[in-house]
Amino acid sequence: MAVGWHRPTKLVIDTQAIQENVRNEVKRMPQGTELFAVVKANGYGHGAVQTAKAAIKGGATGFCVAIVDEAIELREAGITEPILILSIVDVSYIDLLLKYDLSVTVATQEWLEQAIDYLGHIETQEPLKVHIKVDTGMGRIGFITPEGAKQAVELVQTSQKFIWEGLFTHFSAADEKDASYFEKQNRRFQAVLAVLNELPKYVHVSNSAAALWHPESIGNMIRFGIGMYGLNPSGHELPEVYPLKPALSLVSRLIQVKELPPGEGIGYGHTYTTSENEWIGIVPIGYADGWLRHLQGFSVLVNGEKCEIIGRICMDQCMIRLPRKVNVGTQVTLIGNDHGENITMQMVADKLETIHYEVACMFSERLPREYK
């Protein structure tokens, strides 16, 4: 997809905010604990490479991604810190894992056996770095019993083809007031630790939510994701432990302003009709950019005043009702601060009846990212 450098709509990413969020978390971590910044999905829509570089300045010592290609992007951008791929990678890509010095998640005994066979048929003698994943109640990838995890660990330890670098799980409810399910998962992970005779370099259980609200969690590494971008992992559920500084703003400019008489339809299906003489502003952003049709009725900011989105949002444009005539070229703030007023990504998520994670990841490649 082409990037829209030649229109006034853009995402503005505050790298200082990312640094500050990482730095504040690093200050809270017990001595000897490391922070791996999670930059999968293009840094949650913020831009993986620039986010990673900012995270390093804040104190991150490694990174987590979801797929091989995301890891390669970081390496080719000059990132030399450890990178863990959190999803399963087909054994046919082991050559790439070794070439780019990547760590990979192991979730089944069968994968290990296939990897041993594959490694036995390639020339390199370099061992593969692996992290054993335990499913303690998320229902995604991972070993589900202590015995299964122990068997995997024993195979890794007895083979010369692996380096057992990590052991981890993922909490599904660390961002809820009711901590009972979190505690259940924690007990299950403790049961895995109890059957192992030794531990790897990294033991990690804490995502952003666990790091913020369950700092007593075991382990010596945290995977800091949504919190790094300045967003509360729980949405409205739990208060922030310390101020998280949102890093993303979404801005555009008015490309046309017109006054319409009463009775004029706006947008596809004329779902909005002017009730009096109304000033209408056209904003060059639409659902192809990730600004979805369901945001009709939401408000944006123009000169610090809320202006309602009227009519259905189009693929490339949307229409807003202005309080008065406003000059073409005036900035429109869709997410961010404007003259003391603020629209947060959480507000957008509430309107869409989803979570801010999804909102951030929906912004398409067509939106340029500007870093400051």
What's 320's domain CATH number?
Answer: 2.40.37.10
Residue 252 lies in a domain: yes
**Can you name the residues that pair with 310 across neighbouring β-strands?**
319
Residue of 233, 234, 280 whose CA lies nearest to 261: 280
Q: How many domains does the chain have?
A: 2
- Decide: 19 and 57 in contact? Cβ < 8 Å: yes
Query: Same domain for 40 and 143?
Result: yes
Amino acid in the structure at residue 119: L
Residue 104 lies in a domain: yes
d(C-alpha 317, C-alpha 283), whole Å: 6
Query: Same domain for 301 and 334?
Result: yes
d(C-alpha 207, C-alpha 178), whole Å: 17
Query: Same domain for 331 and 212?
Result: no
d(C-alpha 139, C-alpha 86), whole Å: 15
Residue of 319, 357, 348 whose CA lies nearest to 250: 348
Residue 238 lies in a domain: no
User: Is 27 tagged catalytic?
Assistant: no
User: Is 150 tagged catalytic?
Assistant: no
Residue 267 lies in a domain: yes
Residue 176 lies in a domain: yes
- Decide: 93 and 69 in contact? Cβ < 8 Å: no
CATH number, domain containing residue 59: 3.20.20.10
Residue 243 lies in a domain: no
Query: Same domain for 207 and 319?
Result: no
Residue of 216, 231, 183, 212 whose CA lies nearest to 335: 231
Residue 360 lies in a domain: no
Query: Same domain for 255 and 216?
Result: no
Residue 236 lies in a domain: no
Using CA atoms, how far residue 287 sits from 228, 271, 292, 362, in Å, is 26, 17, 4, 9
Out of 40, 53, 133, 161, which one is annotated catalytic?
40
**Which residues does the annotation place in the binding site for substrate?**
140, 315
- Range of 147's domain? 15-229
Encode the chain (372 residues) as per-residue pLDDT tens digits: 899 999 999 999 999 999 999 999 999 998 999 999 999 999 999 999 999 999 999 999 999 999 999 999 999 999 999 999 999 999 999 999 999 999 999 999 999 999 999 998 887 678 999 999 999 999 999 999 999 999 999 999 999 899 999 999 999 999 999 999 999 999 999 999 999 999 999 999 999 999 999 988 889 999 999 999 999 999 999 999 999 999 999 999 999 999 999 999 999 999 999 999 999 999 999 999 999 999 999 999 999 999 999 999 999 999 999 999 999 999 999 999 999 999 999 999 999 999 999 999 999 999 999 999
**Which residues does the annotation place in the binding site?**
140, 315
Query: Same domain for 55 and 184?
Result: yes
Torsion of CA 280, 285, 291, 297, to 10 degrees: 0
Label residues 203-223 b or e (16+ Cβ within 10 Å = b): bbbbbbbbbbbbeebebebbb
